[in-house]
């Protein structure tokens, strides 16, 4: 399944990159991260008016419970999960760093 899109997140590209490379924070953004998903993708971060536009492309192979739903429903479920991911990431980026990092 191919996925692609753009989403604008609050914060500078450096802040977004930090979030995307922090396994603990990233896991909080991934709804249903216990599902088996194998794939690869590309992210492009661009600063736009004080925010970061994330352009993503990728291809995924999905297994587990979500694969049992059926191919037509997988794409809709994937779009919803991507939306939830970016909404959660935006919420984390708007939280002060001391709270987001768990008091580090």
Task: Read off the pLDDT of residues 32-81 as tens digits, 9 standing for 90 and up.
Answer: 666 666 889 999 999 999 999 999 999 887 777 666 667 677 788 788 88
Closest by CA position to 46, among listed 2, 4, 16: 16
Instruction: In whole angstroms, give the CA distance from residue 12 to residue 75.
Output: 30
Domain hosting 53: range is: 2-100
- Looking at the 3D structure of the chain, how many domains does it have? 1
Output the six-digit token pair for 102: 């768990």
The better pLDDT of the pair 63, 10 is held by 10
Alpha helices in 1-104 (DSSP H): 13-20, 23-29, 71-94, 97-100
DSSP 65: G
CATH number, position 76: 3.30.530.20
């Amino acid at each position: 399944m191919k996925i692609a899109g753009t989403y604008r997140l609050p914060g500078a590209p450096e802040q977004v990159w930090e979030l995307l490379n922090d396994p603990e924070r990233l896991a909080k953004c991934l709804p249903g991260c216990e599902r088996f998903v194998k794939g690869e993708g590309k992210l492009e971060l661009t600063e736009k008016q004080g925010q970061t536009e994330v352009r993503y492309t990728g291809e995924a192979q999905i297994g587990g419970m979500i694969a049992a739903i059926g191919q037509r429903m997988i794409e809709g479920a994937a779009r919803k999960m991507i939306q939830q991911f970016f909404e959660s990431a935006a919420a984390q980026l708007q939280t002060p760093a001391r709270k987001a990092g768990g008091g580090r």
